[in-house]
Structure formats: structure tokens, C-alpha cells
């Protein structure tokens, strides 16, 4: 069996040379990085984030001008204009829609598929993966806690062991903490159809991330990318993995202050919860676009320790593939011996 056969299902599903998806990173995964990934033989994914339908339409059109290869669009299920965003994707003939940020409604899946798009969804557990498949999704992504941005509690390796042996109806892609070709091969041999990587592409030459943002990644080690801390279970915080800076320290102070205000009756619980949740509003843009790496959010996965330099996307992709090929060939040779 050749490596091409090992990830053939993923490549056919995506329509790509390599079954490597670019993680959808808000403010980073836009036309320049997405088109570069697709042109390099991987699969670029636009991060819609908080874009309105008009902005998304323009972004898809601009990306299509820069690549003739397949690319997808990541939509947040909680977006108030989700239905209109799906309509934009369908009108622009986007063939792959990734529904993220929460469990998607059956209507969103049906709308996407009715328009001719293939639907990918994130599943944090085996049970949810099976439920999504019953609802008609075309592929599953399982993402471990090593990933950057909003994360769940379980590691990539454990999720892969829990899910891969039990799902064969649809392709399954693995994400979270992947930074080398050896890891890609390991997950493919476990039954994955491909892998998704985000952090490794932040410092690509084509990435629009600010120079200071990229330098922070290059300087960082894996242990610098840590999840945000929740101080009180009455005020839940969805963990976000990011590089520690002044913003992460201030977030703890904000939680302490509002919790104390509630305890002494100066603030209502709902208002306090809202203030905690709004702390990070705009923080990612400040870091990625404006270069404010002290008070902005430096969302990064633990694979950030493997980001050492700025180089073109095609070089990053080809290096990953070369590592994967070398590892696969060596394992095949050892099996024969």
C-alpha cells in the first residue's frame, strides 16, 4: 500500500492531491492563505467568523480568483445569519461547508446538502459523531485539546482511539497538535482519512498575520500555549488555548472582580457572565491584524513549538508530505524485514 492509497478516501472527498485541511482561523484563514493552501495541493478553508453575508460573498469570490482548486468555508453555527451564509456558499458553488462552534441544527445540514455542498462537522465524542452521521453529515472532524482557540477537554490521541475504530460510514479527519508528517501517517494508519492543521500555517509567507504575531509564534514553545482558566463554576468559561501574555493575566483579574461584585450584590449574575464573555471581543483581531501581542489574543495550538520560521505555504506542505512519505516508506520496509 502506498501513501496515496492510505489517504485516498480523504483526497477524493476533498478533491485534493493531499488530504491536509487548513484549520479555519479567524482573521488568518482568508483569501491569501486559503488560496495558497489549495494551490499547494492541500485544502484551504475560509474562516467566516463574524462576517456578514456580503463580506463572505466577497471573500469567496476573491479566493476563487486566486485558485482554481477546491476550498471550503467554515461557518459558526451560532451566527445569527447562518441560513443566509449557507445561501451565499451555495450561490458561489462552494462544494464543502464546515459547520463549527456548536452542534449544528438539522436544518443547516439539510440546507447545505440540498444546495449540493458536502457537510463536515466537528464531533467531540463518539456518540455525537454517530448522531451527526445519522443527520446526514458527509465527514467528521475530531479535534483534540492540543488545538488552538476554543477547545474541548480530551486529547487528540485519545479521541482518535475512541472514534476511529467505530466510524467507517464517512471520512474522519483528525485535528489538534499535529505539526509533522510522522503524526499524519500515524493517524492515517489508525483509520483517519486525513488531518487538519492550523497553527503550522500561521507563519506562512502568505499569511496576513502581523509580523509581531508571527514572531510571537516563532519564539514560543509548546508549553507556552495554555488554556484560559475558569475561576468559578457558576461563571463558565469555554477554554481558549493561546500563548500567555498580559491579556491572559488580565482575564483572571476580570473574573475575580466580577465574581466579587456578584457576591457583594453590586452586580447581577447574568451581567457578570456577559462581562466575562465579552472580555475577548476583538482581542484576536488586535493581535493578528494590529500586532498588539500584549493585550490581544494569541490563539495557538501546542504545535506552535514546531513553528520555527516564515516560509511559503507550498514549502510547509511539501515538507509535511516528505516527512510522511519517509516515515511510511521506513515502516513498510521494516514490516517486510
Choose the weakest-confidence range: 96-110, 262-276, 279-293.
262-276
Confidence at residue 239, expressed as pLDDT on a 0 to 100 scale: 86
Residues 256, 267 contacting (CB under 8 angstroms): no
Mean pLDDT value across the chain: 94
**What's the Cα-to-Cα distance from 144 to each of 29, 162, 178, rounded to whole Å?**
20, 12, 10
- Structural contact between residues 153 and 145, judged by C-beta atoms closer than 8 angstroms: yes
Burial class (CB in 10 A: 0-12, 13-18, 19+), 268: exposed
Q: Which of 82-86, 94-98, 190-194, 273-277 has the lowest mean pLDDT?
A: 273-277
Mean pLDDT over residues 248-262, rounded? Answer: 87
pLDDT band with cut points at 50, 70 and 90 for residue 281: low
| Confidence grade of residue 237 (pLDDT, cut at 50, 70, 90) | confident
User: Binning pLDDT at 50, 70 and 90, where does residue 334 land?
Assistant: confident
Q: What percent of the chain has pLDDT over 70?
A: 99
pLDDT score recorded for residue 1: 52
* Residue corresponding to grid cell 448522531: 131
* 18 alpha carbon, distance to own chain's centre: 17
pLDDT for residue 279 is more than 80:
no
d(C-alpha 137, C-alpha 150), whole Å:
22
What span, in angstroms and rounded, lies between the C-alpha atoms of 319 and 321? 5
Q: Do residues 202 and 214 lie in contact, with contact meaning Cβ atoms separated by under 8 Å?
A: yes
The pair phi, psi for residue 204, each rounded to 5°, is -65, 150
Local confidence band at 89 (pLDDT 50, 70, 90 cut-offs): very high
Query: Of 204, 174, 215, 161, which Cα lies nearest the Cα of 311?
Result: 204
Q: In the predicted model, is pLDDT for residue 107 greater than 80? A: yes
Q: If you ran DSSP here, which 8-state letter would residue 16 be given? A: S
What is 3-208+308-336's CATH superfamily? Aldolase class I (3.20.20.70)
Q: Where would I find the beta strands (DSSP E) of the chain? A: 20-22, 44-47, 71-76, 96-100, 118-122, 139-143, 149-150, 172-175, 194-197, 225-227, 240-243
Calculate mean pLDDT across residues 85-111: 96
In what helix (H) or strand (E) does residue 54 lie, and over which residues does it extend?
helix 53-66
For the segment 194-218, the average pLDDT, to the nearest whole number, is: 98
pLDDT score of 276: 78
- Mean local confidence (pLDDT), 97-118: 96
Q: Report the distance separating Cα 262 and Cα 248, nearest Å.
A: 22
Residue spans per domain, the chain: 3-208+308-336, 221-299
Global pTM reads: 0.93
Q: Indicate if the pLDDT at residue 277 is higher than 80.
A: no
Q: d(Cα 243, Cα 227) in Å, to the nearest integer?
A: 9
Cell representation of residue 40 = 499547494
Amino acid at each position: 500500500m502506498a501513501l496515496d492509497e492510505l489517504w485516498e478516501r480523504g483526497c477524493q472527498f476533498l478533491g485534493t492531491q493531499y488530504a491536509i485541511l487548513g484549520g479555519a482561523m479567524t482573521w488568518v484563514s482568508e483569501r491569501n492563505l486559503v488560496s495558497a493552501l489549495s494551490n499547494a495541493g492541500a485544502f484551504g478553508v475560509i474562516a467566516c467568523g463574524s462576517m456578514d453575508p456580503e463580506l463572505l460573498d466577497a471573500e469567496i469570490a476573491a479566493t476563487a480568483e486566486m485558485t482554481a482548486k477546491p476550498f471550503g468555508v467554515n461557518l459558526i453555527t451560532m451566527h445569527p445569519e447562518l441560513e443566509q451564509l449557507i445561501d451565499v456558499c451555495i450561490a458561489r458553488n462552494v462544494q464543502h461547508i464546515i459547520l463549527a462552534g456548536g452542534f449544528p441544527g438539522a436544518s443547516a445540514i439539510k440546507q447545505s446538502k440540498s444546495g449540493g455542498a458536502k457537510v463536515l462537522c466537528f464531533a467531540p465524542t463518539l456518540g455525537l459523531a454517530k448522531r451527526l452521521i445519522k443527520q446526514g453529515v458527509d465527514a467528521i472532524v475530531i479535534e483534540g485539546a492540543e488545538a488552538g482557540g476554543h477547545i474541548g477537554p480530551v486529547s487528540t490521541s485519545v479521541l482518535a482511539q475512541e472514534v476511529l475504530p467505530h466510524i467507517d460510514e464517512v471520512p474522519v479527519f483528525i485535528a489538534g497538535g499535529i505539526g509533522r508528517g510522522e503524526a499524519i501517517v500515524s493517524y492515517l494508519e489508525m483509520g483517519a482519512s486525513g488531518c487538519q492543521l492550523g497553527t503550522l500555517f500561521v507563519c506562512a509567507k502568505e499569511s496576513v498575520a502581523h509580523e509581531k504575531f508571527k514572531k510571537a509564534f516563532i519564539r514560543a514553545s509548546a508549553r507556552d500555549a495554555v488554556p484560559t482558566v475558569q475561576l468559578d463554576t457558576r461563571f463558565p468559561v469555554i477554554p481558549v488555548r493561546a500563548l500567555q501574555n498580559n491579556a491572559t493575566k488580565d482575564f483572571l483579574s476580570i473574573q475575580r472582580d466580577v465574581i466579587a461584585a456578584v457576591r457583594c450584590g453590586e452586580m447581577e449574575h447574568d451581567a457578570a457572565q456577559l462581562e466575562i464573555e465579552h472580555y475577548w471581543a476583538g482581542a484576536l483581531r488586535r493581535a493578528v491584524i494590529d500586532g498588539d501581542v500584549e493585550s490581544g489574543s494569541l490563539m495557538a495550538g501546542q504545535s506552535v513549538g514546531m513553528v520555527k520560521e516564515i516560509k511559503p505555504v507550498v514549502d510547509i506542505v511539501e515538507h509535511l508530505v516528505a516527512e510522511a512519505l519517509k516515515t511510511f516508506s521506513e515502516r513498510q520496509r521494516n514490516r517486510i524485514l
